[in-house]
Chain A
Amino acid sequence: MKLEETLQALYDHAVEFVIIGGAAMQLQGSARLTDDLDFCYARNRRNLERLAAALAPFHPRLRNAPEGLPFRFDAPTIERGMNFTLATDLGPLDFLGEVSGLGSYEAVLAASETMNILAMPSRVLSLPGLIKAKLAAGRAKDLEAVRELESLREGREKSGL
């Protein structure tokens, strides 16, 4: 995982995104490890073009797809799809157009907060947003994660963080 380079590429191309999933959990204080980066991205045409341009130098391809399968991560492809699990030179990157329990990018953005990460102001899904998303996902591991997220939320509230 190359977090700094990934954020820099997205930032340099002014991509509209929110960090979600396991990475957002860790940025909010979770002790759970994750090996990929998940983002929710805005679905407007300008953003699709920016996203495609930001990732182009890092050779995005579909993760776990058969070798040689034709794939081009450009704006029309992104527009036709919704959620992309990619292997890139920056590591595994997932781009979701919507998040269970929250909805579209606009709803995810509304449930996010700005964090200054590696000198880049970045939107990160908030603890209440993560809790909603995990409850909607509903798998055993998600429900277990909710316990941790609820503790973090309480700790932050009680200490005024």
Chain B
Amino acid sequence: MTSDQRKLLWEWFTNPPPGSKTAEARDWGIDLSLLYENLLLSPTERARKLEQGANSLLILRMAGDRHAAKQ
């Protein structure tokens, strides 16, 4: 990614033009800063993040199951 692309991306996600799908998404409640951050990552970095997120979800789910079993 070039510095120009990064700048364009930043401008797009911090101030999406009215009527764009991105503006609609922001108004819907989607956190555009997360999308911007993810697009700065390489596919391999996104893959690592995917793996970490999935494993965190698994830990949370197991904790939830243990909690439910105690009830």
A residues in contact (CB < 8 Å) with B: 1-4, 23, 26-27, 29-31, 33-36, 91, 115-119, 124, 144, 147-148, 150-156, 158-161
Contacts and interface: CB of A to CB of B under 8 A. Distances in A.
B46 A147 contact: no
Contact of A29 (B8, B31, B38): B38
Interface string B32-70: 101110110101101101110111111001000000000
B34 A31 contact: yes
B28 to A, nearest CB: 5
Given A148-B30, A151-B25, A159-B8, A31 B35 contact: yes
Given A34-B54, A118-B47, A159 B35 contact: no
Contacts, number: 111
B29 to A, nearest CB: 9
A29 B39 contact: yes
Nearest to A147: B25
Nearest to B43: A115
19 contacts: A1-B58, A4-B51, A23-B50, A26-B46, A30-B38, A33-B54, A144-B28, A147-B30, A148-B25, A151-B22, A151-B32, A154-B21, A154-B22, A155-B35, A155-B36, A158-B8, A158-B9, A158-B12, A161-B1
Given A147-B30, A151-B21, A26 B53 contact: yes
Contact of B5 (A1, A144, A159): A159
A7 to B, nearest CB: 8
Contacts of A36: 54
A34 B52 CA distance: 10
Given A147-B21, A154-B20, A155-B13, A3 B35 contact: no
B52 to A, nearest CB: 9
B37 to A, nearest CB: 8
B22 A155 contact: yes
A118 B35 contact: no
Nearest to A114: B43
A101 B19 CA distance: 26
B64 to A, nearest CB: 13
B43 A3 contact: no
